[in-house]
Structure 1
Amino acid sequence: MSPTKIAIVYYSATGTLHAMAERLASSARAAGAEVRLRQVAELAPKEAIATNQAWQDHVEASGHIETASPDDVIWADGVLLGTPSRFGNVASQLKQFLDTLGPAWSNGELANKAYAGFTASQTAHGGQESTLLALYNSVYHFGGILVPPGYTDEVKFTDGNPYGVSHVTGGSNDVPLGTAEVAALSHLAERIVDVASRLRVA
């Protein structure tokens, strides 16, 4: 049987979500999956990006990452969606991508896949859970199978987010992923590969 196919589709302004997506990709590959790592298109004007050096640096550093297309979601057995928290909601860049999936949705090409999400915010109570819940509204409409991590592994009692995986940056782009976040991302990747594999043969 061919490997389970996992699409990781995300938006990252200054690199935090990119680092999370890279960890998910490496863990999914280690679990035997074929992975497509894709960033969504940047919508912000160049003038706005230029006002934030970290944002500008990340745009330049991540230029080699392929831009997501609807085909990436259609292709996948499981999909991991990543967005920074924007006032407790999904970043417009990822939301715009999700809004382009209407034709695939109408053809039933988004249904019966495993989906989960990941996010980051500046503060511990900066809307991480509400961002993931808002993100999952699209999954419900797709007819997707939501696969949150819950408390299915001991690491979830450390990272404390049963809705997905989240990271607190503290307002700095220099705060790396901690041990708990790295473990939680690996667990989420392994879980999505496992459930997506089961759905393929159901």
Structure 2
Amino acid sequence: MSAADIAAFVDFGGNVAAVYRARAAAIAGRATAAGVPIDPVLLEGWAGAPPVGERSLYRAFEQELTPAFVAGVTGGERARRTKLVYLRREASFRNQVWEGDYKNLPVLVLPPRGKACTPWVTMFLDDATRVITGWAISLTPHAGTVLTALRMAWSTTRPPVPRTASRSSCAWTRVWSSPRRRSVRRPLGWEPRPSGCPATNRTRKARSSARS
């Protein structure tokens, strides 16, 4: 699917049949479809394109375009938002619900070594306050970027851990206090703080006693 196909899909309001007619007319060398002039930009984009059937065009749009994009073209911004998962979870207080996502930024950067590329950003957002709690940028998407953003969010906001937490519920605290996780970059100004987790506090006391 070319950029001209997507542009025509937007111009015709999601009418795939109209896109097919205009595309077929442009490939055949005609400047109009059903008596309607075809945009010169589309004519240029379809120049030399291979012909496809209408059903194949339907399937291509269905596979390449997201439901949110299609809903936005056919029903507007409000319809597009109904197809998104962003901020669909209700939160009544801060740090109750976080959302995380990563995205390829449409910005071309030139790293110290290698070719120019578009970086990736990973962010965590608090649903109640809409505050970005943690973020990280990398040249390629990988697990280390996600852990860096999550660690920034955790170290700056410190979501409360219940005092009656069991060993399994202290998993988050153990992840960040584990020596095996020290390879993850810490944000500027990060300092370890008491977690309030009984299991973690007992472990620290046991280590202190063993060292003494």
Which structure dedicates a bigger proportion of its chain to strand? 1
Q: Which one scores higher on RCO, CA 8 angstroms, separation ≥ 6?
A: 1
TM-score (norm 2): 0.22
Q: Which one has a bigger Cα radius of gyration?
A: 2
TM-score (norm 1): 0.23
